[in-house]
Structure 1
Amino acid sequence: MERRSFLRGAVVGTSAAAFGFTLWQGAASAAPAQPGPGPYGALGPADANGIQLPAGFTSRVVARSGQRVGSTSYTWHNAPDGGACYNDGTGWIYVSNSEINPSGGASAVRFSSTGAITGAYRILSNTRQNCAGGKTPWNTWLSCEEVSLGYVYETDPYGVKAAVRRDAMGRFKHEAAAADPVRRAVYLTEDESNGCLYRFVPTTWGDLSSGRLQVLVAGTATSGSFSWADVPDPDGSPTYTRSQVSGAKRFNGGEGCHYADDKVWFTTKGDNRLWQLNLLTNTYELAYDDSLVSGTAPLTGVDNVTGTASGDLFVAEDGGNMEICVITPDDVVAPFLRVGGQSSSEICGPAFSPDGSRLYFSSQRGTSGSSSGGITYEVTGPFRA
């Protein structure tokens, strides 16, 4: 995988892909990310919250399922999952989904400019198993239902406007969403063992009420060129969206999705891979594959993914060692943090505060291993700008 600019002159075949593209020289891309020293150094001993962090970083608990958030009267939801942060002028807001069925939904925590919790409230109710989602450029939260024939709900992080179901974005087992302001499209992952990658192209950018749902079409190799084809019936009934277009590329359990700098990164949990789409060259390739690393893979159970202005990607584990790992622009992967004593949980919802100095995430089932034991954390420290 290469996140620095390059021009791919040809499509890499199946055999070369199996060896991390090592047959290609010059302008060809590098191999998928490999283990190495992380930019933040080694993990230290566990802190009072059971989290191992590099030197200079600290953690705090923001919320616990079933308990009031800070000094507010709002009770935090069960099974916290995907999340995002929003600037509110004086401070910021962290939004978090609730992956339970029924009731699901999403909540928000409001912070002052100093990071103090000043409010918490519900922004979406009466939905099903809201797993991940994505932030839009117009500052709404797309909350996705991870159920068969699930919907995407556009919600207001500020708690003013009512949530709206966006039927045009298709009915399938939605996972994550990533908005692309350049091509004016929203990319969508599907959590099925034979799922697809979609993009939704709104009729009017900023209005998700109508548009075209498309599916990625490509070969079976782990790298190559791709195109998009319209899904004839986004409603997914009687034929599932993933079964409507011949040649649609299959992905094994689509999870997190992140857009930056004309590229889309998304994870597939069934094979522990991170994929990259280069939207300038219309090519795709592996950015990480735990079966192709040298030695012990530091990242397994790939799930939610987010990024920073420095080009670092932060990938959360569903299981594994309960880590968030960083993948640098130099294609090095290393643990950034590890949560101890919560092996029956998963890490989800990584998102940075608007100034990039704080990372929020949740342990969905906490120390209890139950959806009622979720814990949402904040990590503060010298993140790379």
Structure 2
Amino acid sequence: MPVDQQPARRIQPTQSYLQQQPGYPGQPGHPGQPGHSGQHPEPPATPRTPRRRRRGRRAVVIVAVVLVLLLAWPIGLLIWANGKITHIDALSGAPSQAAETYLLAGSDSRADGTLAGDPTEGQRTDTIMLLTKPPSGSASLISIPRDTYVAIPGHGNNKINASYALGGPELLVRTVEDFTGMTVDHYVEIGMGGVSALVDAVGGVELCSDLDVDDEKSGLVWTPGCHEADGTTALAFARMRYSDPKGDIGRTERQQQVIKAITAKVARPGTLVNPGAQVDLLSAGLAALAVDQDTGILDLGRLALAFRAATGPDGVRGTPPIADLNYRPGGVGSAVLIEPDAAARFFASVADGTVTIEEE
């Protein structure tokens, strides 16, 4: 018979294979052996997806959506805020130094204190502060009195605030750099009237003074002690000087106090987690600011951190060493004379973080 027509043979399992199978005599599962119930085992049930697993996946999706929203909001807010910043020409291009230095100039350029449009038109620079964050040591906030007698490049000697009237922010920056020996990395101009809107946006601030004041020029009416101030009162508090025995020095101290109070209010958790409050604060704050061409919203964030360090317990606040508060060189009226021999050492210590201010 041909090979392909032969019937298939059934292959029998070997004896040794059979002996190893359950149910074979002598093996567990054979009738009469331990482990046998006398019934055939049921086939395994089809596994079902637990409800708990489905709920866990739903929770993961919800958490992921919340995280996306939490990340998207601040990023979008930063992009929006960055687009609302007013930029002006200000920096001199001098080589950077180790310390990060911000020149803060307060002005009364407009009745409402905002700096929209041309922020230099008709401007008076009444506040000049140098905020410095060195790589190590103390951050500092040094107020340079507006009447400080200095050399203005190309214009001879005059009060430092005259540099702005003569050449705008660029000349002010060059004058400050020549006077201090420090490079200005960021220029931030603050419309003091805009401070009023910012104070109102944070719900008012607490301010303190021992003076008894009824000042017609600034509009400040004040009794000694600490009081909750709205925007109008805070602005008058920051502007007043004629009823202050310390004159311009006292005014710079109160201006620092107002800015510090606003910063503290902004940093409260209730403000940081309130989207509506964030938008109101940024709108009010940015409307009052003009910055150099290279400064953006992240630089302003670093400025806020530096300001917080300078006004904190380890920071340094004050003025350069003053030789004469009523210096009269002729032709400029009463001016403030800084100690000529001590000025260079003072600003060098500001730059390296070793500056200290003598208590009066």
Structure with bigger gyration radius: 2
TM range (shorter): under 0.3
Q: RCO greater where, 1 or 2, for CA within 8 Å and sep 6 or more?
A: 2
Higher strand fraction (1 or 2): 1
Structure (1/2) with the larger helix percentage: 2
- Calculate the TM-score normalised by the size of structure 1: 0.22
